[in-house]
Amino acid sequence: MRFLSFDKCFKKILTVLCYQIQNIMTSKKHNFRPSTLFMSSVLIVALCFAGRSISPLPTWPNDRMVAVIDSVSDDIRKVELQFKEALISGDTALFLKCYTSDACILPPNAPALCGQRSLTQFYKGARQGGVRDATFTSLGLFGQTWEYVTQQGAVELFDAAHHSLVRSKVLIVWKKTDEGWKIFRHMLNFDAPMPPASPSSPK
């Protein structure tokens, strides 16, 4: 149903009033009913305000939306640096700080790993596999709300000599926490199978 704008409503009311008055003046019987005139005007006004009440909600200015996206991107970059440093240093606590307390990692060909203990096992497994560094490439953020945003990206993993081990595609659901945006769901899929760990890989 299409509603009139407020200024058009006002013009419509004047038109109806003039029409009613003209009918009164030209009618031979002068069968004038004030209630009819009044109800017609009230009905039009009601439709006008109904149209105003269901008008679209105001949207954010572009500069404000850009500022929100920049804030998310800044937090993501900080977490990526923490993740990278955790792989280099072997700091389990720093690795866990990248994730929410109820986070899950969804690795390929394996069950979901949820909770701090499972995330620690994943991290230790990566270290045992010789992973010592990583580079991250963000391919876009999608579907942002106040609490969540999804990121598509790519990751390349390296050994201690900075030789490439594997490339991976990732989908990450970030969650807003009191400490900033953190990883809530982390799905990864390798472009090729991981090479077997070298027996001489440093712990």
Q: Considering only CA atoms, which of 10, 21, 96 is closest in space to residue 47?
A: 10
Please name the residue that has the structure tokens 């029409």.
19
What is the pLDDT confidence band of residue 8, given thresholds at 50, 70 and 90? Answer: low
What is the pLDDT confidence band of residue 58, given thresholds at 50, 70 and 90? Answer: very low
Q: Considering only CA atoms, which of 79, 111, 75 is closest in space to residue 96?
A: 79
pLDDT at position 146: 92
pLDDT at position 167: 95
pLDDT higher at 56 or 80: 80
| 99/80 Cα distance (integer angstroms) | 11
pLDDT at position 94: 97
DSSP alpha helix (H) spans, the chain: 6-26, 34-53, 62-89, 92-96, 115-128
How many angstroms from the chain centroid is the CA of residue 184? Answer: 13
Distance of CA 8 to CAs 4, 14, 36, 44, 88, Å?
A: 6, 10, 21, 10, 68
The 3-state secondary structure of 112-155 reads CEEHHHHHHHHHHHHHHCCCCEEEEEEEEEECCCCCEEEEEEEE
Cα dihedral 20, 26, 28, 30 sign: positive
* Residue range 61-111, pLDDT digits in tens: 544 444 555 579 999 999 999 999 999 999 999 999 999 999 999 999 899
pLDDT at position 106: 97
Q: Is the pLDDT of residue 128 over 70?
A: yes
Q: Is 185 exposed, middle or buried (0-12, 13-18, 19+ CB in 10 A)?
A: buried
Token output for 123: 């991290």
